[in-house]
């Protein structure tokens, strides 16, 4: 399995058709179809059913789609972490904090963080733990 093949599968699911996915990815329809066929050959199963009505995912296709999305999200997180470690622009940080933390230690921590990572995008979510932690997972 190759990254571009998994991205193609994800984009087909999000776009609803091979033609729309190819347009979104700036690929020809034949190039996208080739990537999908290579992916099907690699996993040894049909992933999409193509008909005059459009495409539908097979059970194997749905199972792979779930894992492909997870793998893609995990790799994006890894890229973000590496950008952060390198101190480059494009690093994104999401922080969930309780009102007590916001009132007591947030300012010195943010001041220090900005001195180390001036170009990082920072997202803060304040609330009680039952609200703040789930919100930080969505933001990340």
CATH superfamily of 87-139: Periplasmic binding protein-like II (3.40.190.10)
* Alpha-carbon separation of residue 61 from 10, 20, 45, 88, 95 (angstroms): 10, 18, 8, 37, 35
What CATH number labels 3-78? 1.10.10.10
Using one digit for the tens of pLDDT, what is the confidence trace for 75-112?
A: 988 987 887 777 656 667 888 888 888 889 988 988 98
67 and 1 Cβ atoms separated by less than 8 Å: no
Using one digit for the tens of pLDDT, what is the confidence trace for 33-70?
A: 999 999 999 999 999 998 888 889 999 999 999 999 99
**Ranges for all domains in the chain classified under CATH 1.10.10.10:** 3-78
Claim: this prediction has a pTM higher than 0.85: no
In DSSP terms, which residues pair with 57 in a beta bridge?
Answer: 48
């Amino acid at each position: 399995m190759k990254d571009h093949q998994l991205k193609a599968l994800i984009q087909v699911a999000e776009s609803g058709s091979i033609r729309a996915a190819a347009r979104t990815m700036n690929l020809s329809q034949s190039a996208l179809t080739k990537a999908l066929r290579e992916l099907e050959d690699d996993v040894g199963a049909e992933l999409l059913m193509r008909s005059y009505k459009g495409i539908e995912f097979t059970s194997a296709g749905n199972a792979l789609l779930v894992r492909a999305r997870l793998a893609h999200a995990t790799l994006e997180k890894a890229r973000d972490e590496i950008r952060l470690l390198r101190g480059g622009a494009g690093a994104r940080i999401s922080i969930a904090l309780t009102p007590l933390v916001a009132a007591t230690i947030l300012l010195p921590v943010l001041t220090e963080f900005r001195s180390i990572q001036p170009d990082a995008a920072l997202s803060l979510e304040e609330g009680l733990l039952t609200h703040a932690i789930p919100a930080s997972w969505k933001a990340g």
